[in-house]
Structure 1
Amino acid sequence: MKILEEVHQIQYTEYRIHAKKWQTDSGDLSLAPIILMHDSLGSVSLWRDFPAQLAQPTGRVIYAYDRLGFGLSDAHPTSLAYSFVSTEATQCFKAVLDYFSIQDFIILGHSVGGGMSIAIAAIYAECCHALITISAQYTVEELTLAGIREAKLGFQQAGQIERLAKYHPNKAQWVLDAWTETWLAPAFQDWSLAEIIGGVCCPTLVIHGELDEYATTAQPQQIFSGVTGQAELQILEGLHHMPHKEQPDLVVALIADFLEANI
């Protein structure tokens, strides 16, 4: 089965957003596509082989894009607003929907992209056929903050910011600060998805590594309990914050089986 890939540049206000599309040569274009939302240090390229792996068993078109300020998208003009998790739904994400003329979709997000996906599923309740979260945060925990503090110290070591710059050219320091300084800010400590998660009425798959460094298993449980549609919770034994990279075959199989059973 051959994977076809396309690269796109999307106009969002005065900025360019980098996006990519994957599909198999035998995929079913009538099926709702899957849109991927990356994590705090993520980008299209950092999904690596996962989009192609996901396209094969699901037969669906896969889309991913670099949020403004990340990857190959244009630099962000300001610091990240504390409302960024929920406002992404009506900003760059809306531009992606319009550009590709997407009416119905499945949303899948990793880490903070999972939080964004929850907001998107609630805001676009009539269009979102399913929600899939991987290692998503529901609220700010001490484990989350401790992991971010440790990572911030790690990035002070020689060569670490340069490694990040490979994926975020000329924007690496902004990307790092957008993660660490936002989440560690006192004004962000009361953030949660509590006010929006009840609007998620589509089938939901919540995937979380048992040993996640940035969120206890209480977080996926809150997501699982908070959505109003049918939900499935998968706590993956022995896995950490990147289950789709640690055990990609397992995660892809869980997603494909979930979609086949529910969509």
Structure 2
Amino acid sequence: MARALAEAGTIRAGGRALEYRRAGPPPGDAPTLLLLHEGLGCVAMWRDFPERLAEATGCAVVAYSRAGYGRSDPCDLPRPLTYMHEEGEDVLPKVLDAIGADEVVLVGHSDGASIAIVHAGAHADARVKGLVLMAPHVFTEEMGLASIAAARAAFETTDLREKLAKYHGANVDCAFRGWNGAWLDPGFRDWNIEGYLGNIRVPVLVLQGEDDQYGTCAQVDAIARQSGSPVETVMLPACGHAPFKERPERTLAETARFVARVLQPRAAPMNTARRGQG
């Protein structure tokens, strides 16, 4: 019998030790929501969102830090421009094996949302029942690249490095330069994962801030138009790139509602788009 996943520790996936934190019951005792962080994120940067999400849904909630982030093993630099493809296709299946989840909704933010798309489009993984995508990107946009260039200037000239080091420790340069260097590589302008969308076979919820500095509603429109499964979109006014921090109550409510629906599917789901005040 598989051993229950402890509340915190490390798992091995992709040849590296990855830190994780669990809220709610262990995977196997309840469906699991697996949190996939952004390009500068890690376990600690989810703050209290895992605990609140577990309380709102009754699910196991597991957050992990990818290699090169938080207290996970470092990664090699420079990151390949296909790093999100590799995370979604090769590493994420091993993470799911390691945590012992057999019924999963992937909850991804930014890069994490893109990794969730890659996984769902590359694998007919029966464990995955749905995707919650916060601020996803499926192609590059000039305004997003400009914001990433501004982040590099801030990292080099302000206290941004010190702030990130509180979360990433010795991985701070690996985390920032691995993400920033890949996105600002001239070859990354051709990065595109739209080809995965048509193979998605599970329901999708997209949460997008109207004031997101890294991506526009063109990302949302592409996902809704090309996905092989129903897509529900929620546009959040007065919200930037991090719905779970900037609009936590609305994000929790929408995610809990979606999770309840996909784990107990209704007869006729439909593509919908909604705009809210939360």
Give the TM-score normalised by the residue count of structure 2.
0.87
Equivalence for 1:47: 46
Equivalence for 1:124: 123
Equivalence for 1:74: 73
Q: Aligned pairs, how many?
A: 258
Unaligned runs of 5+ in 1: none
Equivalence for 1:64: 63
Equivalence for 2:182: 182
Following superposition, the deviation at residue 30 of structure 1 comes to 5.0
Q: 1:155 and 1:5 mapped to 2: Cα distance?
A: 35
1:5 and 1:23 in contact (8 A); partners too: no
Following superposition, the deviation at residue 205 of structure 1 comes to 0.2
Q: 2:33 and 2:14 mapped to 1: Cα distance?
A: 24
2:27 and 2:99 in contact (8 A); partners too: no
Following superposition, the deviation at residue 28 of structure 1 comes to 9.5
Q: 1:261 and 1:78 mapped to 2: Cα distance?
A: 41
Identical-pair percentage: 30
Equivalence for 1:91: 90
Residue 104 (1) aligns with residue 124 (2): no
| Other structure's SS at 1:155 match | helix
Residue 11 (1) aligns with residue 12 (2): yes
Task: Give the partner amino acid of 2:207.
Answer: I
Within 5 Å, give how 1:173-252 maps onto structure 2: 173-252=173-252
- Cα deviations across residues 51-72 of structure 1 (Å, max 9, x unaligned)? 1111112110011111011110
Moved more, 76-85 or 244-253: 76-85
Q: 1:13 and 1:204 mapped to 2: Cα distance?
A: 26
| Other structure's SS at 2:156 match | coil
Following superposition, the deviation at residue 182 of structure 1 comes to 0.6
Cα RMSD after superposing both structures: 1.9
Equivalence for 2:268: none
2:77 and 2:178 in contact (8 A); partners too: no
2:27 and 2:100 in contact (8 A); partners too: no
Q: 1:155 and 1:17 mapped to 2: Cα distance?
A: 25
Q: 1:242 and 1:13 mapped to 2: Cα distance?
A: 27
Moved more, 211-220 or 166-175: 166-175
2:27 and 2:101 in contact (8 A); partners too: no
Equivalence for 2:276: none
Following superposition, the deviation at residue 39 of structure 1 comes to 0.3
- Cα deviations across residues 116-135 of structure 1 (Å, max 9, x unaligned)? 01111223333210011001
| Other structure's SS at 2:195 match | coil
| Other structure's SS at 2:23 match | strand
Q: 2:12 and 2:183 mapped to 1: Cα distance?
A: 28
| Other structure's SS at 1:21 match | strand
Following superposition, the deviation at residue 13 of structure 1 comes to 5.4
| Other structure's SS at 1:129 match | strand
- Cα deviations across residues 106-155 of structure 1 (Å, max 9, x unaligned)? 10100111100111122333321001100111100001101111111111
